[in-house]
A and B are shown apart, each in its own frame.
Chain A
Amino acid sequence: MTPLSAAPRLRRGVKTAYDETRACHVVLFPEGVLVLNETAAAVVGLCDGRTSVEGIARRLAEEFDGVRAADVAELVDRLVARRVVAVDG
């Protein structure tokens, strides 16, 4: 699992957008389109290469109830597997 101290960033060529047709946030990347729920969109928005997983969880906790750093790390894992996000070192 992604360490809580790691700072994920979007990979090269990854873009985010709001989809009016489907009323949700999406990630656009070479392989296709990923539809995001509200939490995932918030996490992706904080993957700036500087904020750690723990930091992302703290920021999310200001907006959403019951955010756990472990859940954020798991979501980041899934984004890494889809090659949307990279975690260096």
Chain B
Amino acid sequence: MGEVPGADAPFGLLAELTHRCPLRCGYCSNPVELAGRADELDTAGWRSVFDQARAMGVWQLHLSGGEPLARRDFAELVGHAAGLGCYVNLVTSGLGLTADRLAGVDHVQLSVQDAEAAGADLIAGVRAHGHKLKAAEVVRDAGLPLTVNVVLHRLNLDNVGAIIALAERMGADRLELANTQYYGWALRNRAALLPTREQVARAGEVVAAARARSAMEIVYVVADYHEAHPKPCMHGWGARQLTVAPNGDVLPCPAAGVIEGLGVENVKDRALSDIWHSSAAFTAFRGFDWMQEPCRSCVRREVDFGGCRCQAFQLTGDASATDPVCSLSPHRGLVDLVLAGGTAPVEHRAVVR
């Protein structure tokens, strides 16, 4: 038994079936330029992506978006993936989730916005909280494992104890508490979402205490702006997982579309396995040769891979720079400046049809 190595073949595919979504979360990491229904791969297009992915060695298929249940052909796509032997993980807001839609699904990751309806619906931009509690029941009744995912930010971080209690009441096997990662709409709303240092410290203590007593597995994704070292993004670029965006663009990570000149290719033009193995986008930051100092000669480079390429690009304009949240980065001052800045009101994600 062992941890999966930085293998030649990918283990997971994140299929962003659509950007359409009934919610309008101010923290949404989807790109600011959202794809509409007309841009989406059709049923045959997705079936072919799943076929190619399975043939490459992909097992985990994360059906996400947007709201994957918004696809009219959802049942057919799940059926196809399950037939290939994929482990189907539905990543959903829970809106539109009924028992019949779970046929072929192996695991559900359900997002919840806050401990109580008022705050949750405020950040989601629609009344959704009540539906999520019902969706959790549907998942439990189907006998499937349930992960609850909650994105944390200034407006809900103080409620983390109540959020943990809610996830327990919902019957979650796992709770993912993910501090907001600043991509897409979240980057646009950063001033509103960034928590204070005190909030982060208090929440960390509450989570540690809950972990010690809860039967539920609690995964905590740290607030990287407040850390001294970056997150190990994607376990290395193009190492384990790939993302296919609603329009068929193939990306090393869901945020990578922001990096200008990356050379992103589309499944309509080239085989998935060619794109994975040899496209400019996937080879750009694979391994360690692309690194600059201080990463190049750093002992932590095999731990965090120099952090996030998208964050490096977004904050410094250079995608091969050290992730600026790193205390060793010459650009760390940019992050400290943001932390010292004032707050702002949240703007909701745009609606796409």
Contact = CB atoms under 8 A, between A and B. Distances in A.
Contacts of B7: 22
Q: Which of B1, B4, B144 has the most C-beta atoms of chain A within 10 angstroms of its own C-beta?
A: B1
B142 to A, nearest CB: 11
Count class of interface residues, chain B: 20 to 34
A13 B11 CA distance: 17
A34 to B, nearest CB: 6
Contact of A28 (B57, B60, B144, B174): B60
Nearest to A27: B1
Contacts of A36: 1
Interface string A48-82: 00000000000000000000000000010011000
A35 B4 contact: yes
A26 B58 CA distance: 12
Q: Which of A13, A30, A40, A79 has the most C-beta atoms of chain B within 10 angstroms of its own C-beta?
A: A30
A30 B4 contact: no
A13 B144 contact: yes
A32 B60 contact: yes
Query: Which secondary structure dominates where chain A touches chain B?
Result: mixed
Contacts of A19: 57, 59
A37 to B, nearest CB: 6
Contacts of B107: 13, 29-30
Contacts of B2: 35, 37
Count class of interface residues, chain A: 20 to 34
Contact of A13 (B9, B12, B85, B145): B145
B33 interface: no
Contact of B1 (A22, A75, A83): A75
Query: Which secondary structure dominates where chain B touches chain A?
Result: loop
B74 interface: no
Given A13-B145, A22-B7, A37 B1 contact: yes
Given A28-B60, A32-B12, A17 B85 contact: yes
B137 interface: no
A83 B172 CA distance: 14
Contacts of B147: 30
B175 to A, nearest CB: 12
Given A19-B57, A33-B12, 20 more contacts: A12-B145, A13-B145, A15-B87, A17-B59, A17-B85, A19-B59, A28-B87, A29-B87, A30-B89, A30-B174, A32-B11, A33-B87, A34-B1, A34-B4, A35-B4, A37-B1, A37-B2, A40-B1, A75-B1, A83-B217
Interface of B: 1-2, 4, 7, 9, 11-12, 56-57, 59-60, 85, 87, 89, 106-107, 109, 143-145, 147, 173-174, 217
Interface of A: 11-13, 15, 17, 19, 21-22, 26, 28-37, 40, 75, 78-79, 83
8 contacts: A13-B144, A19-B57, A21-B9, A22-B9, A26-B59, A30-B109, A30-B145, A75-B1
